[in-house]
Amino acid sequence: MDIPRYWRLKSQRYRLQGRRCTDCGSLSFPPRQVCMKCKSRNSEPYEFKGKGKLYSYTTIYQSPDRFEQIIPYVVALVDLEEGVRITAQLTDYFPEQLEIGMDLEMVIRQIYEDGPRGPILYGYKFRPILCPGIES
């Protein structure tokens, strides 16, 4: 069980909270203490909206042990609206629906159960956008 780590990372996993450099405005996810662009150490929390486009994806058939329950599953590179590319699992798509460039939105799902006695880890995944007209 890795309870302290689950607890420490909950803001980024539940609310897609990264960092915004207060000197040059660059955004980072996962959050970085030093700005990749201007090397500044000044930053503040920034919540991404959770909307993006599918940049690329792959289907996992041979997984780490803790994801064995859900194989096969799709891991994608998602380009967030704010211009940051992140890695995330995809969920709830029709077979043959996935297409590079398609619109995606973030949802909260079980990532894995830490065994039958451990905690259940929740976090972001992405799915094809449900209602394109509605702003979140």
Partner 1 sequence: MSKMMKPSRDVGIVGYGAYIPAYRLPGTEISELWRDGQDNKFLPVKQKSVPGKDEDTTTMSIEAAQNALKRAKINPAKIRAIWVGSESHPYAVKPTGTVVAEVLGIAPDTLAADMEFACKAGTEAMQAGFAFVGSSMGEYALCIGADTAQGRPGDALEYTAAAGGAAFIIGPAEESLAVLEGSYSYVTDTPDFFRRAYQRYPEHGNRFTGEPAYFKHITSSVSALLEELKLKPEDFAYVVFHQPNSKFPLKVGKMLGFSKEQQKYGLLSPSIGNTYAGASVVGLTDILDHAKPGERILISSFGSGAGSDTFSFMVTSKITKAAKLAPKTKTYIDRAIPINYAAYARLRKKIIKE
Footprint of partner 1 (CB under 8 A): 10, 14-15, 69-70, 89, 91-92, 94, 107-111, 120, 122, 125, 130-131, 134, 136
Looking at the Cβ atoms of 60 and 70, the one nearer to partner 1 is 70
The answer for residues whose C-beta is within 8 angstroms of residue 13's C-beta and 6 or more apart is 111, 121, 122, 123, 124
The alpha helices in the chain, defined as continuous H runs, are 3-8, 10-15
Q: Give how far Cα 108 sits from Cα of 14, 18, 58, 62, Å.
A: 7, 16, 20, 24
* Nearest-approach distance from CB 109 to partner 1, in angstroms: 4
Cβ proximity to partner 1, 26 vs 108, nearer residue: 108
Q: How far is the CB of 40 from partner 1 (least distance, A)?
A: 27
Backbone angles phi, psi at 114, to 5 degrees: -80, 70
Measured CA to CA, the distance from residue 76 to residue 131 in angstroms comes to 21
Q: Which is nearer to partner 1, 14 or 38 (CB)?
A: 14
Least distance in angstroms from the C-beta of 105 to partner 1: 11
- Residue 62 or 136: the one with the smaller Cβ distance to partner 1 is 136
Distance CA 125, CA 111 (A): 8
Q: How near is the Cβ of 25 to partner 1 at its closest, in Å? A: 23
